[in-house]
Chain A
């Protein structure tokens, strides 16, 4: 079946602009994660959605970052008033449910460059 799909694959924008990144998880997966990956760094947790539960937003680095998940499927990550330090690869992952011992399946990410 189809894997996790992210769009756009690349985004270049000017400092101060808003950007919206999209993630389509694997069909039937109730858990969805957003991560940020910078050069030479491990994956940085941003936000977690599970079904209709309130999301865990504890990893969002500032109030310029927000995310939503509509209908328990597609998710969008929005970064307002982008800064150069926001440049990174933003990865989305989904897993079957919220129980532990579930591997996450990743999309290929959105490579965000802030000029």
Chain B
């Protein structure tokens, strides 16, 4: 299928290495954040979320870090696999139902 975001920043990592994808969010009042993974021709897939009262949250092979002081969010993927190749983007919750979405980073896993 056709890829979205052909001119996105790209992160290339060797298979088995750890990946770190960063996101600068815009609103200091945002209190909930989500990371999504989007494969070519597919819709965004929920990976992990974090609330503003936390600095870190871990899932299976993924960790999200939140630095509210500098409005920065990161997604760490341990032991990156070929199936992790996709576009990753963050979302911040600015109200009860509205979100702002980042443009994303393309992750390429090198064999």
Distance in angstroms between the alpha carbons of A6 and B41 in the assembled complex: 13
Which residues A41-100 have CB closer than 8 A to chain B?
41-43, 45, 48, 50, 56, 89, 91, 93, 95, 98-100
B95 at the interface (CB under 8 A from A): yes
Distance in angstroms between the alpha carbons of A56 and B49 in the assembled complex: 25
> CB distance B32 to A101 under 8 Å?
yes
> CB distance B102 to A42 under 8 Å?
yes
> CB distance A101 to B8 under 8 Å?
no
Contacts of A1 in B (CB 8 A): none
A34 at the interface (CB under 8 A from B): no
Tell me the number of A-to-B contacts counted with CB atoms below 8 Å: 69
A13 at the interface (CB under 8 A from B): no
- 30 CB < 8 A contacts A-B: A4-B43, A35-B101, A37-B4, A39-B4, A39-B7, A40-B5, A40-B6, A40-B7, A41-B5, A42-B103, A48-B97, A48-B98, A56-B97, A98-B96, A98-B97, A100-B31, A100-B32, A100-B95, A100-B97, A101-B31, A101-B49, A103-B34, A103-B46, A103-B49, A104-B46, A104-B99, A106-B45, A108-B42, A108-B43, A111-B2
Known: A42-B101, A43-B44, A45-B98; 14 extra A-B contacts, CB below 8 A, are A33-B97, A35-B101, A40-B5, A40-B8, A42-B102, A89-B4, A99-B96, A100-B31, A100-B93, A101-B31, A103-B34, A104-B46, A105-B46, A106-B45
